[in-house]
Amino acid sequence: MLAHEKSKDVSHPTCVGIIMDGNRRWAKENAVSAYEGHSEGYKKLKEIMSWAREGHISHVVIYAFSTENWQRSEEEVNYLMQIFRFILKNEIKNMVDKGVRVRFIGDITRFPDDIRNMIKDAETQIAATYDITLHLAVSYGGRAEIVAGVNALLTEGATTLTEESFAEKLWSHDMPDPDLIIRTGGEKRLSNFLPWQSVYSELFFTDTKWPAFTKEEFNAILAEFSTRERRRGK
């Protein structure tokens, strides 16, 4: 299903977006370094994939690193790059072996050469059969994605566009629109996450910091989602 297509109303979502917020605040509350907070956040990402599979969710979109995150301290950005390198070197094959397809959405050109090359290699590793796709939004910003889509159409000489032709040019073009978006950490905003794709998403905000997010809370959100009537303006 393409990004511009609308998901059917079902008791469980096809696609779940997650804004993983609260790693650094969790670390402060637990008297550990911010880097340990990010490390615990990565461990939670691995857990969420198994929970999603149990919930019959076929697409998970993780807001892993925003375009604004490049403005953090050089030390923290370098540490996050090391986490990316570890995931790309050590975890992608494990995910593929477990039937997970991995895709990346974002301005990949901003990464160092070695990470860009590993991202390209990672996307070629596809299991013979897979039942869930992990979309990692890295160096991602919704406004930047929209501008990139418009520029791609202009480069091709387009003089008019439709929602369908525009959606095909987005970084996330092979991903369904998220049925629901979860943000941890207490903030109640989307922070430039999938502005085009989220117009009919159900939104769930929790005060729980990402490393402390539990399977019980995730399942409670899915249960509430199943009770919501999604009219999409009708």
pLDDT value of residue 24: 92
Distance CA 129, CA 176 (A): 19
Please say if 179 is a catalytic residue. Answer: no
Answer yes or no: is 189 within a domain.
Answer: yes
Distance CA 173, CA 197 (A): 10
Answer yes or no: is 76 within a domain.
Answer: no
Answer yes or no: is 191 within a domain.
Answer: yes
Residues whose CB is less than 8 angstroms from the CB of residue 137 and which lie 6 or more positions away in sequence, other chains included:
61, 62, 63, 64, 65, 66, 105, 106, 172, 193, 194
Full-model pTM: 0.90
pLDDT value of residue 234: 64
Answer yes or no: is 129 within a domain.
Answer: no
Answer yes or no: is 19 within a domain.
Answer: yes
Please say if 192 is a catalytic residue. Answer: no
Calculate helix-pair angle for 74-86, 34-54, nearest 10 degrees.
Answer: 40
Contact 44, 210 (CB under 8 A): yes
The CA radius of gyration of the chain, in Å to the nearest whole number, is 17
- Whichever domain contains 167, its CATH number is 3.40.1180.10
Task: Read off the pLDDT of residues 150-175 as tens digits, 9 standing for 90 and up.
Answer: 999 999 999 888 999 999 999 999 99
pLDDT value of residue 163: 94
Q: Which ranges constitute the DSSP H helices of the chain?
A: 23-29, 34-54, 74-86, 92-97, 113-124, 142-155, 163-167, 215-225
pLDDT value of residue 51: 97
* Alpha carbon distances (Å) from 57 to 11, 50, 63, 90, 98: 11, 10, 17, 24, 15
Catalytic residue among 23, 30, 69, 113: 69
Task: Read off the pLDDT of residues 21-56 as tens digits, 9 standing for 90 and up.
Answer: 999 999 999 999 988 998 899 899 999 999 999 999
Look up the domain containing 196 and give its range. Answer: 15-70+137-224
Answer yes or no: is 141 within a domain.
Answer: yes
Q: How many structural domains are present in the chain?
A: 1
- The whole-number mean pLDDT for each consecutive block of 10 residues of the chain, a chain of 234 residues, reads 41 93 94 90 93 96 95 90 90 88 94 95 83 95 96 92 94 96 97 97 97 97 91 66
Answer yes or no: is 92 within a domain.
Answer: no
Answer yes or no: is 84 within a domain.
Answer: no
